[in-house]
Structure 1
């Protein structure tokens, strides 16, 4: 009888692990899927590892590094490959040095800590770990930073650390309101140590972030008050991960006079996929305008 109960418990654990993995499989892209995706493409992003004594940061880049940088920061769970559609876009490639990065704890990105911690849940630590990415660009132009979901507050914190290097901050489907953190029926099971044995490592990292996220967002409150770079916040009305009221939080707390807020009534969480053309137009508009002005010869006027 005891053996039967152990078998039942084991079966339930496997079933839960399978259910949890299925829920977020769209955000987890395997190396096999990446190879298949780029098998017949002429241009594939270049993979690079930034290393120092404490950091190992994996990035994928496409486009000439003398063009202005477009830095892409993923959510949780997620990876740098979650922005393949942006990296693959020829128009964007022609105008930007596109860099997508694995945040520490995801993919091959790691951070050595003085105190041994299994997961890096600090928004500030995550943000500071991304700063070396700026050295990859040789355009002498400011960077556009785009963060999605859990990557949005990390992007905002990073921008606050080096505002002089940033042209614009774009937050898509942001999870930034500490009072609106969503939990689901499966959230507590994701913390079960036995269940975690059968889950992808990135999923376990995302779970650790989720249970510390509200407290981390409270630490971020002063950042919004002092955010003065041009900022765009985009939110979908049918988003089941980021509560649509996150847009209201942004309106209330972001003090930048150069901010805009876009609410897409019927959009879900994955706006960078469902509204790619809108994102493209937004990114290209200021860059194309700058190139047009630069091309005008005013020397004889």
Structure 2
């Protein structure tokens, strides 16, 4: 009986610890309803379904405007970009589309468990491209684990995209971070107590380094304006990821922005800067330095 009680305590403690560690990254349907209850402007919510998958997405702005496609990290959902969906300036200039990745929110691949393949995640987003009814190419922004998926999608369909922005990217296979609670998340009896998004994130975590190795050719294929933004105080994405980006992204249209004091959620803490980039109000010319490879190397502090 004592052993059973001890095991039960361990399960509850591990489940509570894992849930607490990532609670800030999860926005529930109730949270969304409460947030928009008193707002006049609300996003349009859709579920795209075909024979193999369903994709949950939310949009703001007229669909005749140039598309801004937002790809979230792990764990997370399309609502991780709620502040960008709500931004009136952005929705007047863009058809903002924020999508749940496979295994998160309302997106699933039928008859398949957690999806760990970066290529599969990217291909699953193909139906979204058909929603671009403007005469302009798509601007795509991927954060954290969403960054390599965004880059892979661009490499698959380069003619569809105008610009790639990667924020707090997890792209270096040698810099994958693991935490004291990571191994607990792989235990089936603990997973039973956890939300599906946590289990999907765990599956991705332990496959991510190998998946990043598979897409190494992608970085040399990027021939469009590409921006990489990394925070110096990011405890999720190793700041050295920006060095990987500088080494492997060969495009002369690439720029690298290192925010000394920023953490992981740069799309929240530095929304003004992100907007300036998207709206082209500022090009950070006062921070530009040319490196030996003639790429733009930008250092910008909050």
Q: TM-score, normalised by structure 1?
A: 0.92
Aligned position for 2:271: 276
Secondary structure at 2:55's aligned position in 1? strand
Partner residue in 1 for 2:242: 247
Backbone CA RMSD of aligned residues = 1.3
Q: Which has the higher helix share?
A: 1
Count how many residue pairs are aligned between Structure 1 and Structure 2.
283
1:58 partner SS: strand
For residues 280 and 42 of structure 1, the distance between their equivalents in structure 2, rounded to whole angstroms, comes to: 22
Q: CA deviation at 1:214?
A: 0.2
- Residue in 2 aligned with 1:87? 85
Q: 1:69-218, aligned counterparts within 5 Å?
A: 69-112=67-110, 117-218=112-213
- Within the alignment, does 1:228 sit opposite 2:223 as a pair? yes
The whole-number CA distance in structure 1 between the counterparts of 2:5 and 2:280 is 59
| Superposition deviation, residue 137 in structure 1 | 2.0
Distance in 2 between the 1:118 and 1:135 partners?
26
Structure-2 residue corresponding to 1:19: 17
| Unaligned runs of at least 5 residues, structure 2 | 283-302
How far does residue 286 in structure 1 lie from its aligned partner after superposition?
7.2
**Number of the residue aligned with 1:293:** none
Task: Give the superposition deviation at 1:117.
Answer: 3.9
Residue number in structure 2 paired with 1:40: 38
- Residue equivalent to 2:63: 65
Deviations 1:190-227 (A, max 9, x none): 10111111111100000000000000000111010111
Structure 1 residue 15: deviation in Å?
1.1
Where 1:209 maps in the other structure, the secondary structure is helix
Structure 2 contact 132–138 (Cα < 8 Å) conserved: no
**Partner secondary structure for residue 206 of structure 2:** helix
Provide the rounded CA distance (Å) in 2 between the counterparts of 1:30 and 1:216: 29
1:24 is paired with a residue whose SS is: helix
The CA deviation at 1:22 is 0.5
TM-fit CA distance, 1:34: 0.5
Report the CA distance between 1:120 and its aligned residue: 0.6
Structure 2 distance, partners of 1:227, 1:280, is 23
User: Whose Rg is larger?
Assistant: 1
- Residue equivalent to 2:292: none
Once the two structures are overlaid, the 10-residue window that deviates more, 66-75 or 192-201, is 192-201
In the alignment, the residues of structure 2 paired with residue 99 and residue 11 of structure 1 have an alpha-carbon distance, to the nearest angstrom, of 42
